[in-house]
Amino acid sequence: MQNQKSKQIPRSIVLANNWKTKELKLLNILRKEMITNKIDEQLIKEYVDEQYTLINKKYENKIKKYNDKINVDAKETKITKSERKKAIEFIIKNKKFLEENGAPIEYINNYVEKHYESINNRFIIKDKNKEKIDFID
C-alpha cells in the first residue's frame, strides 16, 4: 500500500496535466475548424504556435508554483523544528536553574507549563502526533 502512495502523483500536477491536455484538445479542434473554413495555412500555423507557447508557459508556471511551495514547506518545517527544539532546551535549563535555587515546585511546574504551551502555539507542528516532552525527572 505504501508503494502506491509513494508513486502517487500530487494533485496539483494531475490538475495541471489535465488542464494542459484539455487546452491542447481545444486548440486542435479550433485548428481543424479553421482548416474547414479555408483560412490561410500560414495564419493558422502562426496562431497555433502562439497558443501552444502560451499553454506551455502557463503549464510550466503551474508546475513551478507547486515545486516552489513544496520547497518552502520543507525549509519552514526544518527551521521550525530546530527553533522549537532550542526553545524547549531553554525551558529545561531554566527549570534546572529554578530547582537548584530552591524555587517552589508549584511555581516551577506553572512556569514550565505556561512556556511549553506558548512554544507549542508559536511553533505549530503539522504532524498529527505532536511531540510531547515529559518534564518530570
Structure-model confidence comparison of residues 1 and 91, the more confident one: 91
- Predicted confidence band of residue 119 (pLDDT cuts 50, 70, 90): confident
45-86 confidence digits (pLDDT tens): 999 999 999 999 999 999 988 888 877 666 666 667 778 888
Please answer whether residues 62 and 12 qualify as being in contact, where contact means their C-beta atoms are separated by less than 8 angstroms.
Answer: yes
Q: How far apart are CA 73 and CA 97, in angstroms?
A: 36
Question: In this predicted structure, what is the pLDDT of residue 128?
Answer: 43
- Band (31; pLDDT cuts 50, 70, 90): very high
Closest CA to 108 of 91, 95, 93: 95
Distance, CA of 62 to CA of 56 (rounded, Å): 10
What pLDDT was estimated at residue 136?
Answer: 54
pTM over 0.85: no
Render pLDDT for 13-28 as a digit per residue (tens, 0 to 9): 899 999 999 999 999 9
Question: Residue 70: what pLDDT?
Answer: 78
